[in-house]
A = this chain, B = another copy of it.
């Protein structure tokens, strides 16, 4: 019956399917067991055509393991707290003071109407970009990376682009579910938009921060306040349901995320709170991409969120916007951020700098 309904709609609309109808239709098409394909096991060599640095790192990494521990039955709040603590301890090895020095930036903690913000200022601000700001939203499945370590990529971006970055330490899902993070981001954006010292704003973020960046852009457009001049989204988590093709095809191949089940699935529920997962502010892919500013997107052939990324790219282009998609050979989810000394990572940030410069100095 489902198929008949779709066939009918296809028949009626012929070659001009309405985008909104198509989205509604999509939510209605859950796969049935009989049309699932059984994909055979396979051997996967390290990606030979990646840069030597990336190739080496992957060749010397243990194979990603799909979780089989007790967490696979679901993660409760106490377990989340424990996971966050483990992650926090691990990230203490990340010496941000040293990173500040290496990347030649200075970090100032600020408070914007109750929201914690880390301002990352390059020691050498490009003069033509002195009044530009990038609002940065960190990744971590909406659960991890609270505090200063959330500013990690902001440091890299500030250094490469010469733009002062405001990294928003938004409330994570354990502190408060949606719409808390989005509200925090909007609060900080409004401050930037109303500042007399700021003449151009970009938005940016990776992973959950990429999804949140897209949700923020949709909110800004709907509120009809000053639009940003550019958007950067790295491997965005833009659909919190298990819909995207590569969530299936690249499971166990992406060495960073590994699998949608269990961690992403449960983080999605925790973040959404009482909201449904297909609500656009939670999963921006179900919203409109009208009036988006030029957008720069990053993914990889091993990225579990490759589909999320290419779907966002298509959605912006279909809405008449300009978007630049870049997919890197052999790269897992947000791996450009995990390995800053790879050629891939340098391409990502050098091209981001080249992309932003004309847009923020116009």
Contact = CB atoms under 8 A, between A and B. Distances in A.
Nearest to A14: B341
Nearest to A340: B15
Contacts of A310: 301, 327-329
Interface stretch (A5-13, A195-203, A208-216): A5-13
Interface string A260-288: 00000000000000000000000001000
B39 A253 contact: yes
B41 A36 contact: no
A49 B311 contact: yes
Given A26-B49, A49-B239, A325-B327, A249 B314 contact: no
B17 A49 contact: no
A6 B52 contact: yes
A246 B6 contact: no
A253 B244 contact: no
A128 interface: no
Given A17-B343, A36-B43, A346-B15, A326 B325 contact: yes
Given A45-B35, A49-B311, A245 B330 contact: yes
A57 to B, nearest CB: 10
B48 A31 contact: yes
A45 B53 contact: no
Given A35-B59, A41-B39, A326-B313, A341 B15 contact: yes
Nearest to A17: B343
Contact of A253 (B31, B53, B249): B249
A347 interface: yes
Nearest to A19: B343
A96 to B, nearest CB: 21
A351 interface: yes
The listed residue with most B CB atoms (<10 A of its CB), out of A3, A245, A302, A327, is A245
Given A25-B52, A318-B347, 17 more contacts: A3-B59, A6-B52, A7-B56, A10-B53, A17-B51, A17-B53, A26-B48, A35-B46, A39-B42, A41-B41, A44-B249, A49-B239, A49-B307, A249-B250, A301-B306, A314-B328, A325-B325
Closest 10 CB pairs of A and B: A31-B45, A310-B327, A37-B63, A47-B245, A37-B44, A41-B41, A36-B43, A35-B59, A245-B301, A325-B325
18 contacts: A3-B59, A6-B56, A7-B56, A10-B52, A29-B52, A31-B45, A36-B45, A38-B43, A40-B41, A42-B252, A49-B311, A50-B245, A246-B301, A249-B301, A310-B329, A317-B351, A324-B324, A325-B325
Interface of A: 3, 6-7, 9-10, 15, 17, 22, 25-26, 29-31, 35-53, 55-56, 59-60, 63-64, 66, 239, 243-246, 248-253, 285, 301-302, 306-307, 310-311, 313-314, 317-318, 324-330, 341, 343, 346-347, 351
